[in-house]
Amino acid sequence: MAVADISVGAVQEVKGRSLWADARHRFLRNKAAVTGLVVFLLIVFACYVVPYLGLRAPDKINWDLPSWSAPNMELGYLLGTDGNSRDLFVRTLYGGQVSLLVGFTATLVSLVIGVIWGATAGFIGGRADGLMMRIVDILYSIPFIFFVIMLTVVVGKFITLIYVAIGAVSWLDMARIVRGQTISIRRREFIEAAEASGVSKWRIITRHIIPNCLGPVVVYVTLTVPSVILTESFISFLGMGVQEPDSSWGTLVSEAAVVMEIAPWAIIGTGGILAVTLLCLNFIGDGLRDALDPKDR
Domain architecture of the chain: domains with CATH? 42-296 (1.10.3720.10)
User: Higher model confidence: residue 116 or residue 246?
Assistant: 116
Mean pLDDT for the stretch of residues 125-132 = 88
Mean pLDDT for the stretch of residues 156-185 = 77
- pLDDT above 70 covers a percentage of the chain that reads 84
- Whether 140 and 235 have beta carbons less than 8 Å apart is answered as no
**Structure-derived torsion over alpha carbons of residues 111, 113, 118, 123, reported in degrees to the nearest 10:** 110
User: Higher model confidence: residue 96 or residue 162?
Assistant: 96
The span from the CA of 286 to the CA of 221, in Å, is 11
Q: How many CB atoms lie under 10 A from the CB of residue 278?
A: 18
β-pair partners for 265? none
Three-state SS at 87 = strand
The span from the CA of 118 to the CA of 180, in Å, is 8
Please write down the long-range contacts of 151-160, taking CB distance under 8 Å and 24 or more positions apart. 152/240, 157/240, 157/243, 159/98, 159/102, 159/242, 159/246
Q: What is the pLDDT, as a whole number, of residue 42?
A: 95
Q: What is the pLDDT, as a whole number, of residue 294?
A: 54
The span from the CA of 33 to the CA of 212, in Å, is 21
The span from the CA of 19 to the CA of 17, in Å, is 7
pLDDT digits (tens, 9 = 90+) for 265-295: 888 888 899 889 988 988 888 888 777 765 5
Q: What is the pLDDT, as a whole number, of residue 248?
A: 83
Burial 68-85 (b: 16+ CB within 10 A, else e): bbebeeeeebebbbbeeb
Q: What is the pLDDT, as a whole number, of residue 41?
A: 94
pLDDT digits (tens, 9 = 90+) for 20-64: 677 788 888 889 989 999 999 999 999 999 888 877 888 888 888
Which amino acid is present at 272?
Answer: G
Q: What is the pLDDT, as a whole number, of residue 11?
A: 46
pLDDT(255) > 90: no
Among 257, 246, 255, 250, which residue's Cα sits nearest to residue 235? Answer: 250
User: Higher model confidence: residue 20 or residue 255?
Assistant: 255
pTM of the model: 0.77
User: Higher model confidence: residue 11 or residue 60?
Assistant: 60
- pLDDT above 90 covers a percentage of the chain that reads 8
